[in-house]
Structure 1
Amino acid sequence: MLVVKLIEHTPNPEKIVAAAAKLCYSPVGVDEILENLDEEKTAKLLNMLMTYGHHSPIEHVSFTFAIEGISRSLTHQLVRHRVASYSQQSQRYVKLEQFEYIIPPDIEKNERAKKIFIESMNRVQIEYNQLVEILCKDELENLIKEYLSHKKLINPEEIEKKQYIILKGKAEKKAIEDARYVFPNACATKIIVTMNARELIHFFNQRCCTRAQWEIRQMAKIMLMQARKVAPVLFKYAGPSCVNGPCPEGSMSCGKVMDIRKEYAIK
């Protein structure tokens, strides 16, 4: 199940953006600017910034989301947004003895397709477990031989239990590194994402659009709704590109501009 949480953001994000913008044209210092910025003045300044396309001040604030229940297919698309920071659950260090996976809606609603899909996922799990076992056994044998040679020992039984556990852990880690190659794009993952507001708005332009894949579009909309709760003026016009202007998709446009503008309008 998709879970999106805005876990941190710059305090008073809208006031910070307004102060940064005002500083560019003000003879006074930051303290005085902040002191004179009330909610009404902040909103007015932010609306002007967004209307005039003066977006550099909004880079001063950032938003951090924790996201779970998404596929590797989604995160491959997500990390293409390069002006961001990402920390993702590693398949290299985490042994997935029972991996979770995301079923696309069109497969979920087709009984025959869903059966094939689930059977495929089950086979992958079995094959992954088998590969880990086989590769771990081979690597452990190699590590034991190297250790015996290095310590000038003859019998594996001479290896202390503590050292054997260390060698086995290394062998399993190496096995997991290679066995993970069988996992599909459907494999579920977890990620923490931090973007500044300017990049976040660009992300919403691209990924809230109907041409984005269903999964990342669903996630992007939830992220936008959560960002609006803490910075409603800043993200007032955020969403697909067509929310604020003509659709940039040309002949590939969905043709539903008015419906989309209603969907993303602040209620």
Structure 2
Amino acid sequence: MKIIEPSSTLEEQINGMELIKKVERAGRTCYKSEDQISEVTAMNFVKKIITSGHESVLEHEKITVRVVCDRGVSHEIVRHRIASYSQESTRYCNYSKDRFNNELTFIKPYFWEDDSKQSKEKYLIWKSTMETIEKNYFELIKLGAEPQQARSILPNSLKTEIVMTMNLREWRHFFRLRTTLSAHPQIRQIARPLLDKFKEVIPVVFDDIEY
């Protein structure tokens, strides 16, 4: 059994300035103000369309991200409908094979990480349960069960990888929902660092979203 932390990575190198310049070129069509485009106008233009609520212009550009999380978090991610997803399939992945190191991988539940006696007890219960699930999963496979049958005992804590592509407007929607205190703590663990990364590489578009 393997226990890992969740993570996210950009699937492509992003040139943030070029991205918002493309948004500007598309958006200025609405006003037929293409003659006003210069090397320094994109940031102000994009800031103005966000302030005015004209966010449909942001749909012209997209970003693809690879997320490693647990199955429970992935169920929340795919509820964002204006997106494309490719996810690790428990129907076809046989975790008893060498390419999976003959083990199940689980995402560590970080909310039981403090040093209190109660948290330690909760974590040990979780860990013991995952060990039992792994043992029984491999026993089912050994008895001839197909992965799509054996997966019925796999838990929300099972690690999954999901590649997700959203346009910039939908990413804004995603971050507004998934970085707040009302969001599930494990999806915040993914969304907040990812928002920080987006702000780092893309000017203006996400600056107004705070957590």
TM-score range, shorter chain: 0.7 to 0.9
Whether contact under 8 Å (1:9, 1:64) holds in the other structure is no
- SS of the aligned residue for 1:238 comes to coil
1:13 equivalent to 2:22? Answer no
Match in the other structure for 1:124: 133
**One-letter amino acid of the structure 2 residue matched with residue 84 of structure 1:** A
* Superposed CA offset, 1:32-65 (max 9, x none): 66xx3312x1111111101100111100010111
Cα deviation 1:144-178 (Å, max 9, x = unaligned): xxxxxxxxxxxxxxxxxxxxxxxxxxxxxxx1110
Equivalent of 1:112 in 117, 121, 142: 121
Quick one: distance in 2 between partners of 1:81 and 1:60? Answer: 18
The corresponding residue for 1:179 is 150
Q: How far has the Cα of 1:27 moved from its partner?
A: 6.6
Secondary structure of the structure 2 residue equivalent to 1:8: coil
Per-residue deviation, 1:20: 1.1
Residue of structure 1 in register with 2:194 after alignment: 223
**Rounded Cα–Cα distance in structure 2 between residues aligned with 1:13 and 1:222:** 21
Q: What's the offset of the Cα at 1:9?
A: 6.5
- Contact 1:18/1:45 (CA < 8 Å) preserved in 2? yes
Q: Any idea what SS the aligned residue of 1:101 has?
A: strand
Structure with the higher helix share, 1 or 2:
1
Structure 1 Cα separation of the partners of residues 161 and 192 of structure 2? 18
Provide the residue aligned with 2:46 in structure 1. 46
Local SS of the residue matching 1:23 = coil
Query: TM-score scaled by structure 1?
Result: 0.69
5+ residue gaps, structure 2 = 97-102
**Counterpart selection for 1:207 from 174, 178, 189:** 178
Q: What are the residue-to-residue correspondences of 1:78-93 with 2, within 5 Å?
A: 78-93=77-92
Alignment partner, residue 77 of structure 1: 76
Could you tell me whether the CA contact under 8 Å between 1:207 and 1:216 is conserved in 2?
Answer: yes
Larger radius of gyration: 1
**Percent of pairs with identical residues:** 31
Q: 1:149-168 to 2 correspondence within 5 Å?
A: none
Q: 1:135 maps to what in 2? A: 144
Cα offsets for 1:96-150 (capped at 9, x unmatched)? 13111123233343221122111111110111111112134xxxxxxxxxxxxxx
Match of 2:85, SS state, is strand
Q: Return the offset for 1:3.
A: 2.1
| Aligned-residue offset at 1:10 | 6.8
| Contact 2:82–2:166 (8 Å) recurs in 1 | yes
Residue 32 of structure 2 corresponds to: 26
Paired residues of 1:91 and 1:180 also in contact (CA < 8 A)? yes
When residues 61 and 17 of structure 1 are mapped into structure 2, their CA distance, relative to the original with a 3 A threshold, is: same
CA distance in 1, matches of 2:48, 2:108: 43
Distance 1:232 1:5, change over 3 A: same
Return the alpha-carbon distance in structure 2 between the equivalents of residues 100 and 48 of structure 1. Answer: 45
Q: TM-score, normalised by structure 2?
A: 0.86
User: How far off its partner does 1:225 sit?
Assistant: 1.5
Partner Cα distance (1:103, 1:120) in 2: 13
C-alpha distance in structure 2 between counterparts of 1:10 and 1:116, whole Å: 42
Q: Unmatched 5+ residue regions in structure 1? A: 137-174, 240-259, 261-267
Which letter maps to 2:20? E
1:2 aligns with one of 3, 6, 18 = 6
